[in-house]
Structures are given as structure tokens and as C-alpha cells.
Structure 1
Amino acid sequence: MDDGAVGRATDGDFAAVFAALPTAYLVMSPDLTIVDANPAYLELLGRTRAELIGRYVFDAFPPSPEALDADGVNPLQTSFERARDTGAPDHMPLFRYEVVDQETGRPVPRAWSLISAPVLDEAGRTRLVLQRVEDVSEYLAERERLAASREDGSWARLDGLEADLFARTQELRAALASREAATRRLAAMAQVVLQLTDAESVADVTAILAEAGLAAIGADGGAIALRDDDEGVVHLTMTPSLGSGAQRRFGTIDLESRLPAAWTARTGQTVVFQDQSEAQAWSPEMREAFEQSGQRSWISVPLSARGRLLGSLLAGWTVERTISPDEVDLVQAFAAQSAQALDRLQALTRERRSAARSRQLAEELQRSMLTEPFQPTHCQIAVRYLPATGTAQVGGDWYDAFLQADGAVNLVIGDVVGHDTGAAATMGQLRSLLRGIAVAGGSDPAHVLDILDSGIVQLGLRTYATVGMGRLERTTEDVARGTARLRWASAGHPAPVVLDADGGLVDVPEVSGRLMLGVDPGRSRGQIALELPPCATVLLYTDGLVERPGSDLDAGVARLQRSAAELVHLPLEELCDRLLEQLVDGHPADDVALVAVRLHRPLHAGAGPDHLPDSIAVHEWER
């Protein structure tokens, strides 16, 4: 058998199978609103889709009085509702119904053989109702004509025709049984397609296909084979019916193998084996495949989406059988639907991996610039940074603490708009610019922020950011008392939280000109000077620490103030950890940056620094 003899390409899908069915099918929602109808149905009823879709079925086909039973109930409606409510097919072998002739406008009596079948979701609830319609009007008309001929004495001819009618009826019954099985299979396939739309991972799709999917197309067993181009193999997920031996032996096979799973996944060609002799003529490897799996007939069809081969779908049967072209078309159409679900989830997986790599890069870049702070002689500084738990939420927040030549300590907290590697890179530029401006002689925080705002425009950074900057200063008297002065300016950033040694809240006046950076570089900012009491604690933070969905910023700041007041007695590092634990619980929706500063206790009287020169006092403080 040559390669081309077993290869059949397909562009069909589930919709194409529905459209090509020669038997009439109507699809309804549970409230019996028409959802779809195949061409055979439209041709049989002489209607168009536009006339039917979206209409209540008995508005589209009003029942005649003769069609109602003795209680005035429409038996056809009862059949629909019984299939919907019981979850089982309902049969109406013979049902007479008048249909309006679209050309004459007159009612025409017809006789139907009907089956109503439900389409169930995973919970067993009816999602759709299918109606299969077989027109038997001509059979009944001929029988009635023959019965009337008995009055003319044509007994011999009538007996012969009745015998012929009986044979044709038997054929019809067999055809109807086959159509009924096709209806059940179509309903099962529709249910599997619904499950595929709810799948959240490639593993979910392969599990659905290897279980419900293969059963829906009437196979006794089978497998889903997915390509791994990096390794040059295909990985198979098999139904349990194939046995543990097949699982071990054929769980992973080389992509260049001649086994059908790999061949179809590599070439996109369909392979059909109706018996073992055909399979072994194709490849000697098939002997072991038959022995391990227990299957005697096979179909292997490609899983292809958007011109890309994802793998193959294999369906097997435990007995040798003749596989009709219709069955091959059915498996191919089902594979096309399955490939769409796989392609969607594989693309989603790739996007998630790419976003995770981008996030990791941004976080590494950001952390590389958020160094541990130096420790001044008169206070302790602690810092924390938590990236957001969302895939792309990283990159904009930063903190900084550095010493000025005059001994003052600069404290900075900022948040660049955006959450990606670009925001992280911009953050690094702003951090470096601010440091350079301050070290070059910018002792006034408001002046530093104004120059930084101008620099953003001159350098074409095209960004927006909020920044808060504090300058911690001490006089000789502050050294003796253990106090300090905080000069604070803000470019759209929340004010710091300041607490005394007992947890009392120190009022921080509002700062004028708090416009964020990047909006209007011509605007200047004001600043405040705040006296810090001995052992005061100052908290600078970004909005990720205090903002919550459905709650405003003021409420979040109030939560921070209450928590900090309750925890102020703790060592500074522990205070930071407990605040993060209480306010974000390790899962922030946005980046969180935190800078905590606590003044050291002053020296005891008698050896106090007020009796010493400034240089000695500072040295003594360090000790």
C-alpha cells in the first residue's frame, strides 16, 4: 500500500457534517426557540433560515386543530418537552401534520417519522434539543391507494405490492435505526464540543477527547497525539481501553516513525486500516500496536488549525470492520473541531509563558536597582518591595535612600505609570536622574522634583510618575534631643505616615503643587517641614499598599495608620513584615514599595552629645 492510497486531506468541520446530512435536522434551545436547521430540513419544509432562526418553533409551524389530541394538546410539543426534561430521545414513528405550501399558501397534509434528542452539558442539563424528521408521506399515500384498489378486485396485484411495501418498510426501518444512531452520535458530539469550549488547558482537551470524544464517534478506544517539535516526538494520551502495555510502549514515539500517530501528525494525511493485514503491510511496527492495544481497525486523522499541524487523532475498534467514507468524514470533522480547541489553548499557553518571562525580566531588572539602603548614624532604614501577583503587573514602583554631602538623608518613593519592562526601565532612569540632581546640589526636595520634571521632557522620556521625596535633617540640638526635621515634597504621591514612640499619629500638613511628573513641567511644587519627635517612625509607601478594589485611597491610608499604630512597638524590620502581611497578605494586586525610617533613642544625660563638639557627638552616636 503506497502512502498516497491511505492519505486523505480534509477541510471539513462539525458544521460541514451538519450541513451535509441528507436527513432533515432542526436544532432548538430548551425553550423551543429555533437555533439552527440544516439544508435538508429547509428543503423539506420549503423555508429559509431567515424565516426560522430565533422564532418559537410553533410560531414558525402553527399546529392545525387536527394535529391536537383529544385534550387539545400538541403531541409534537409533548415529544420535544419529554426529550428536554428526561434527557433521553423521544420517538414518534408516525405523526400527521399540515404544512403551508409556500407557493400556494394552502395547507398540505404530510406524514413524518420523528425523533427528538437532547444535547446535554457536563452537569446533565439539556443545552439543546435536536429534531430529526423523516418524510413518509409517499409511503402512506401509496399504501392507501393500494387499499382502495381492493374494491376493484385487484387482489393479486395488491398482495405483490404490499409485499414490496413490506420490504421497503423493512429497509426504511433499518435506515431509521441507522439515522437514530446517527442522531444520538450527533448529540453526543455536540455535547463534547460544548465541553471543549469550557476547557482551560491542553490537558483538559486531551482528556475530553480521549474519553467522551472518542466514545461520541463510536470508537472502542483511541488516542490523541500532540507534536513536540523541540524534542522531535509526539506524545500520546490514550483511552484506558488500550491497556497499560500500549501506554508504556507508545506513550511517546518519534515524529519520524511510520506509526500512524506520528505519520499523520507529520504529513497531515489520513490513514485507514480496516484489518490487521492492511496495517502490517503499511508497517511491521503495527503488529505490536495491534497486540498491545487490542484494536483491529484504525482511523488516524490530522489535528490541524490555521495551516499548522498540531498532531493526530486516532480512533480504533476491537473488531475488524468496513470503515465507510461517511465514518472517515465524521472523524475528520470531529478532529477539526478538536484542533480548534487545542490551538486556542496552546496559543494561550504560549502567551502565558511569554508574559511570565517578561514579568520575570522586569522584576529582575527592578530588583537590581532597588538596593539595600545604607544605615545612617541617627536612624534605622528598612525597605520592602513586593511585585504584583498578576502576570503583567510589575515594573513601576521604586524606593531610594542616600546620603547628602551635608549629612542629610534623602528618602524617595515613586511609582511610574505602567506595569512592564518599559516601566521598569523608565523607573531606573528616573531614579538615576533624581540621585544626580540631588547630589549635584539640590538640597530642596521641591526643587529636585521640579528639575526632574523638566528633565523628563528634555530627555523625551514620555512618561508619568508620582514621586515623594523627603530630606531628613538634624541640628546640634536635634542630636541632643534625638529629634530630626523632615522636609517633604510630593509630585502626586501620598503623604508619609508619621508616628511617635507611643503610636500617636503625627499630623502631616498638605503640600501645595502636588502635580505628578510628566504632566506640566512648568509648574513648581511646594514643600513642608515637619518636626519628628524622639523615636519617631516614618512610613513612605506606594499605592499598592493601601488601594483595594471597591474602596477609596483614604480608607486604605486609614487602615495603614491603624495597623502601624498597633505595631509601632515592634522592631522596624518586623513592623514592615507585619504591615505587608496584614494589608496585602502576600498577594498584592499592584506593586508595593515601602520605606520605613525610625529615629534612634538619644544618648543618656551625663554623656550627652550636647557637652561635645558636633564631630565627636556624631561619632559617639554611631557607637
Structure 2
Amino acid sequence: MDFAAMFSSLPTAYLVMDPDLVIVEANPAYLQLLGRTRDELVGRYVFDAFPPAPDALDVDGTNPLQTSFETARDTGEPDVMPLFRYEVLDQVTGRSVPRAWSLISSPVLDDAGRTQLVLQRVEDVSEYLAERERIAEAGPSSSWARLDGLEADLFARTQELRSALASREAVTSRLAATAQVVLQLAAAESVADVTDTLAGAGLAALGADGGAIALRDDEDGVIRLTVTPSLAPGTHQHVGSIALGSRLPAAWAASTGETVVHRDQAEAEAWTPEMREAFAQSGQRSWITVPLSTGGRSLGSLVAGWETERTFSPEEVELVRAFGVQCAQALHRVRALTRERHEAQRSRALAEELQRSMLTDPLQPDHCQIAVRYLPAAAAAQVGGDWYDAFLQGDGALDLVIGDVVGHDTTAAATMGQLRSLLRGITVIGDPGPAQVLDGLDTAISRLDLATYATVGMARLERTAEETGRVTRLRWASAGHLAPVVVGADGELVDVPEPPGRLMLGVDPAHTRGDSVLELQGGATVLLYTDGLVERPGTDLDTGVAALQHLVRDLAHLPLEELCDRVLDQLVGEHPADDVALVAVRLHREDRPRPAEAGPDRLPDDVALPVGERAVGSTARAHTG
């Protein structure tokens, strides 16, 4: 059973509209009363489905039924109409016949007090009015006894109707309240959230004075109860346990899937003497206990208690059952969510450990300082494939690599490790330039069927024999990656020309790329980075890159490690939305004493420094690799 089943079983006619008075539902009693089908009504504006007759309008031309709907919607209070007469289609004769209805318009409010739905309840009183009019038309010659009998019958029926309507109104009111609690359950993110909601607003919405949520612990063979304050005075909530095999209703309903209803203490103690202590401790005198189950699996039970002895109507029992179904679904959902979170956390930890195992501390050559940083994304699902690398060639050239595998999962992290190893292997064979290395990596992705896409940038810092001590050449190639930020020895930004053929890896293995080259003096700073450093929602990438360039220029006077920290603090903060990797290099000035961070001379004695091409001043040029 659920709320839809309960709504369908109500014998009173109900129409449900949204705040724009568009019909969203009608129960079978309403459809039978009106002689309409659900498909004819749902989705239509109510007065398109039921155009008002001209004689139903007020003297000023307004529709009193529309006024009633709008009053309930706008005030948040029920609106009771006088008897309303309407022409409906007789299903037997096929002719329109007049009917007299008693109408009530009621709002359904959300937690903020805003109207979510408008209900119309319809009671048909035509037969009573018709009989009374027939007697009145018969005049004094008619039997007064007959009239008295009708009046007595009408009074008795009216009393019955009032009692029934009061009961139904109470159930309807509780149904609206439980609907609001269900919205809270839908937002729950933990089992504690669910039990707190059920033990508080949930039981109150049912009209109960107290109760408990009982969850199965099959491992220990017990039912663990979270009890409302009314059942455990002096505490916000009380948690206890009972044996799963107990005959107490909480355990019985959880074990058998049966609903247990006790109208009074005598009935409860006849069920099991164990209930005597429950009555003494709780102060409750009648109970409804329903199972909590979903997908054929029992999760526990829901216990609702009342302080007075009472007989429950079938509608009240069904309401508690339907609410129990919603509770079970919420518990099932948050437990699944908790498992997913734990699995995501484990996967993230493994992927991050994999990344960090390969993103090692950089070497420190004699002619420059290297600093690296890696920040994983704050969201558990956002672990990705960003990486950096720095290593020396046999001729003393320094290779710097920055890369970003497309995707944010453990697969991206694993692929990152493969590409990093492949790139290193390609670089040390045959002395290829950066553009040739990237082309070789693209070929390897295709031949090894890695089925991935990645952006990679590679910079090589070279020193020629004639220029050693004065000038370092930066050779840059890109496979769809952002250009490095370069600040010269004079503290000004240096433009890095775009190299030819910047297509990202994984698109076309036959594509060829080229290098761009520029010369740098000692004291220059080079920063390679992934797009997580500069990409922000609501701004374009060029804006982020420009902000980074100006920030690095302003901070270039700081020690390199401090510069990296300041850049991350100002552009990313403590909770990055995406992975961020960066590698920064500062060339030592030869006209000053070697700084403490300078490493040993890594160039082998038997390797001659290559004689490279000279560039005039700091002019940069691009050529194919």
C-alpha cells in the first residue's frame, strides 16, 4: 500500500489541482460522481474541463467555485461553500441532470507554508434535498408523520455524515501532513536523518503521541529502537534494543511483516505479557505497529502510540501502513547512498594514492629550481588524471611535462599512470624533441587501444655550449594544453608563441605537432599548470588565464615555493572544484652566488653540450618539430 492506493480507496470524491488550478489527479469516487474519465480531466485547467453555466455565476459575473479555490490557495485555509447546484451527465439516460453538492476547498501546504496543491472535496446531497422538496410541494394534506420520519432520518444521516466527514477530514489532514514529512525524508542523507524525522514530525503527522523506529540488526539478532522523547522522558531520543525473536510488536512486525493493532492495555497484554512493562514505561494506551520493508526485505518496524484507549478506523491504520512504506523506501535509499559514499571514498583514496605515488618530488639540477604542486578535487567523485613530471636528458636538457586525462574517476587516474610512463620511455629513446614525443605518445595510445583523450604540454629547457651561463632556450610543444606562464628576468610577462598542430591526444594518431622556441635569461620563472587552476563557472577560460598571468607576474619576486602556494591560495582555495597540478621552474642567475636550493651538476662529464640555434635578444619563434 502507498498514498496513491489510499487516495484511490477513499469513498468521498476528491479533485486535486496545482496552484494554477490545473487538474493533477481525481480519485475514482470523484470520477464516478461526475461520470468522467481520468484521461478527460488530468492536465486540463479545471474550468476548461468544467465550464460554469451562466446561471452559476454571481451577479457580477464571477464564478463562486473559482473564488473558493483561489481563497483556499491564497489564504492557506479551507473554504466551505454553500450548497452548489451543477448539471452533470446521467450515465444511464445520457441526459444532463441537476445535482446539489456540498463543497469544501482545502490547500496542501509545504514546509514554508506555501500552497502546493488545492483539494476539492465533494459530497452529493441531491437525494435529501429532492425528497424534502417533494414533501413540501405535497402541501398540508401530506402525512406529517412522513415528514417527521424524513426529518428524523435526515438528522440521523446528517449526524452519521458529520462523524464520517470528521474522521475523513482528520485522515485527509494527516495525509497532507505526512506528505510534507515524506518531502523531508526525500532530503535525508543518513539513517540518523530518517530516524530523527520519523521520531519527530513523522509520528506527529500521524496524530500519534509517541512511538519508535525499530531497525533490524541481523548480525546481533536484535531490533534497535530509536524512541521519541514522549516514550523516554528527559532525553532527546533514546536508543534501546530487543531480541529479534521477541513477541513485542516492534520485533514481531519486523520478523513477520504483519501489522499489529492494540486498542487498549488488556488487548496488548493478551498478545504478550511483555507489553505490561511497555505500558508502564511509555504512558501510551493504544498502538499501531507496521513493518518497514522494501523489495521483499524487512528493515524493521514503525511503532505509533496514543495516550488514550481508542478504536482505530481502517483509514487510520492504512495511513500508518502507507507512511511505513515511505519510511522504508527512505531508509533503503539512504543506506544505498551510504554504501555508495563509502565505495566512492575508497575508490577516491586508491586513485589519489596512485596519483601521488607517481607524482614524486622533483629533482633539483644545478641551473634551476623546480617546485611542484598537486591538489585533488574536493568532491569525492572528482578524482581525475592530472599529472606533472620533470626529468633530465642525457645531454643535460630538462624536460617538464604537464598533463590532464579526460574524465574524473579511477580509470582516468590509472590511464594517467600509463601515459606518464609511456611518455618517459619515448623521451629517452632517440633524443626526440617535445613535439615528436607527443606525436609518439599519440601513436602509442592508438596502437595500445587505450581509448582515452588527454591534453599534454611539454617544455624542454636547453643550454648551448656558447650560451651556458647566460641563456637558456625553452622549447614548447602542446597537445591541446594551455601554454605556460613565463615571467622574464626583468619581471615582465613573456609571450609564448602557439606551436603548430596543437590537437589533443587520442583524436588522430597521424596528426603531427611542432615546437615553439624562446630564450630566457637567468632569473626567469616558468609555470606549467592544468586547467583546474584557471577554469571557473560563469567565466571563459581566457579570463582565467589572464588572471593567472598577472598574478604570477606580481608574485615573481617571491621565492618559488611561496609563489606556488600564493597562486593556489588566491585562485583555488581549500576546496578546488577540479584537480590542479602545476610545475614551476626558476632559472638561477649566474651573476649571483648559487642559492641554497641549487642541486648538483647533473650533466655527465663525457656528454658534450649541443650547439643550438641562436635567437636574438628574447625574440621567440615557432617551427615544426
Q: What 5-or-longer segments of structure 2 have no aligned partner?
A: 594-602, 608-625
> In structure 2, which of residues 537, 541, 550 is the aligned counterpart of residue 553 of structure 1?
541
Q: Secondary structure at the match of 2:381?
A: coil
* 1:574 lines up with 2:544 in the alignment: no
Q: Is the 2:232–2:282 contact (alpha carbons within 8 Å) kept by the matching residues of 1?
A: yes
Instruction: Note if 1:472 corresponds to 2:447.
Output: no
| Aligned residues of 1:14 and 1:336 also touching (Cα < 8 A) | no
**Structure 2 Cα separation of the partners of residues 523 and 70 of structure 1:** 81
**Superposition map of 1:3-402 within 5 A:** 12-92=1-81, 94-101=83-90, 104=93, 106-199=95-188, 201-228=190-217, 233-244=222-233, 250-253=239-242, 255-402=244-391
One-letter identity of the residue aligned with 1:128: L
Question: Which residue does 2:410 correspond to in 1?
Answer: 421
> Residue 529 of structure 1 aligns with which residue?
517
Mapped partners of 2:478, 2:587: distance in 1? 22
1:280-319 per-residue CA deviation (whole Å, 9 max, x = no partner) reads: 3444443333223221111111222233333322211111
- The one-letter code sitting in structure 1 at the alignment partner of 2:582 is L
> SS where residue 350 of structure 2 aligns?
helix
Shift of 1:138: 1.3
Moved more, 76-85 or 18-27: 76-85
Distance across 2 between alignment mates of 1:478 and 1:57: 87
Q: Which secondary structure does the structure 1 equivalent of 2:119 belong to?
A: strand
8 Å contact kept, 2:435–2:514: yes
The amino acid across from 1:556 in the alignment is G
1:242 is paired with a residue whose SS is: coil
Deviation at 1:51, TM superposition (A): 1.9
Distance 1:441 1:262 in 2: 75
Query: 1:502, 1:569 within 8 Å by CA — same for their partners in 2?
Result: no
Match of 2:472 among 478, 484, 491: 484
Deviation at 1:104, TM superposition (A): 4.8
Q: By how many angstroms is 1:105 displaced?
A: 5.4
- In 2, are the aligned partners of 1:202 and 1:342 still within 8 Å (CA)? yes
Name whichever of 536-545 and 99-108 sits farther off. 99-108
Q: Which amino acid aligns with 1:42?
A: L
User: How has the CA–CA distance of structure 1 residues 262 and 115 changed in structure 2, closer, same or farther, with 3 Å as cutoff?
Assistant: same
Offset at residue 477 of structure 1 (A) = 4.5
- Which of residues 484, 495, 501 is equivalent to 1:496? 484
Q: Where does 1:456-467 land on structure 2 (aligned, <5 Å)?
A: 456-467=445-456
Taking structure 1 as reference, are residues 58 and 380 closer, same or farther at Cα in structure 2, changes over 3 Å only?
A: same
Q: Secondary structure at the match of 2:345?
A: helix
* 1:402/1:409 contact within 8 Å kept: yes
Name the aligned partner's letter for residue 512 of structure 1.
P
Local SS of the residue matching 1:240: coil
Deviation at 1:263, TM superposition (A): 3.4
- Conservation of the 8 A alpha-carbon contact between 1:387 and 1:588: yes
- In 2: Cα distance, 1:286 partner to 1:309 partner: 23
| Contact 1:117 1:187 (C-alpha < 8 Å) held by counterparts | no
Distance 1:279 1:304 in 2: 24
How far 1:444 sits from its partner (Å)? 2.5
Q: Deviations over 1:302-338 (max 9, x none)?
A: 2222333333222111112223433222211222233
Distance 2:301 2:20 in 1: 38
User: Structure 1 residues 61, 414: closer, same or farther in 2, change over 3 A?
Assistant: closer
Report how far residue 565 of structure 1 moved.
Answer: 0.4
Whether the 8 Å contact between 2:16 and 2:23 is mirrored in structure 1 is yes
> What CA distance in whole angstroms lies between the structure 1 residues aligned with 2:142 and 2:266?
59
- What's the secondary structure of 2:230's corresponding residue? helix
Distance 2:145 2:360 in 1: 107
Change (3 A) 1:444 1:82: closer
Cα distance in 2 for residues equivalent to 1:128 and 1:142: 36
Contact 1:479/1:602, CA 8 A, preserved across alignment: no
Match of 1:5 in 2: none
Give the Cα–Cα distance (whole angstroms) in 2 for the partners of residues 159 and 530 of structure 1.
Answer: 111
Q: 1:93 to 1:184 in 2, by over 3 A?
A: farther
Q: Is the 8 A contact 1:454 1:522 kept in 2?
A: yes
Provide the TM-score with structure 2 as the length reference: 0.88
Distance 2:48 2:460 in 1: 79
Whole-Å Cα distance in 2 between the matches of residues 515 and 94 of structure 1? 77
In structure 2, do the counterparts of structure 1 residues 74 and 105 end up closer, same or farther at CA, with 3 Å as the change threshold? farther
Separation in 2 of the partners of 1:258 and 1:503? Answer: 82
Q: Determine which of 504, 510, 528 is the counterpart of 1:516.
A: 504
Give 1:465 deviation, angstroms: 1.8
- Would the aligned equivalents of 1:397 and 1:592 in 2 still touch at CA under 8 Å? yes
Aligned equivalents of 1:455, 1:177: Cα separation in 2? 77
Partner SS state of residue 432, structure 1:
helix
Q: Does 1:597 align with 2:585?
A: yes
Change (3 A) 1:323 1:74: same
Distance 1:174 1:502, change over 3 A: same
- Cross-structure match for 2:619: none
2:440 pairs with 436, 451, 454, which one?
451
Structure 1 residues 524 and 186, CA, compared in 2 at 3 Å: closer, same or farther? closer
**1:604 Cα shift?**
5.2
CA distance in 2, matches of 1:445, 1:77: 76
Mean CA deviation greater in 162-171 or 464-473: 162-171
Note closer, same or farther for the CA distance 1:61–1:459 as it changes in structure 2 (3 Å cut). Answer: closer
| CA gap 1:463/1:321 in 2 versus in 1, 3 angstroms | same
Q: Distance in 1 between matches of 2:556 and 2:515?
A: 26
User: Alpha carbons of 1:520 and 1:174: their partners in 2 closer, same or farther (altered >3 Å)?
Assistant: closer
Measure how far apart 1:468 and its partner are: 1.7
Counterpart of 1:431, as a letter, is R
User: Which residue of 2 is the match for residue 608 of structure 1?
Assistant: none
Q: 1:260 to 1:368 in 2, by over 3 A?
A: farther
Give the drift of 1:201: 5.0
Q: Which has the higher helix share?
A: 1
What is aligned with 1:506? 494
Given that 1:234 and 1:262 are in contact with CA atoms closer than 8 Å, whether structure 2 keeps it comes out as yes
- Residue 128 of structure 1 deviates from its aligned partner by 1.1
Deviates most, 377-386 or 323-332: 323-332
Structure 1 CA distance, aligned partners of 2:286 and 2:472?
Answer: 87
The AA in structure 2 aligned to 1:342 is L
Comparing 348-357 with 70-79, greater Cα deviation is found at 70-79
Do structure 1's residue 410 and structure 2's residue 386 form an aligned pair?
Answer: no
Give me the CA root mean square deviation: 2.8
Give SS of 1:377's match.
coil
Q: Kindly state the Cα deviation for residue 397 of structure 1 after the two structures are TM-superposed.
A: 0.9
Report the more deviating stretch, 273-282 or 563-572: 273-282
In structure 2, C-alpha distance between the alignment counterparts of 1:171 and 1:459, rounded to whole Å: 81
Quote how far apart the aligned CAs of 1:539 are.
Answer: 0.8
SS at the partner of 2:489? coil
Structure 2 residue matching 1:147: 3-state secondary structure: helix
- Helix, strand or coil at the partner of 1:278: helix
* 2:435 counterpart letter in structure 1: A
Does structure 2 retain, via aligned residues, the 8 Å contact 1:302–1:335?
A: yes
Say which is worse superposed, 116-125 or 157-166, in terms of deviation: 157-166
1 CA distance for matches of 2:158 and 2:323? 32
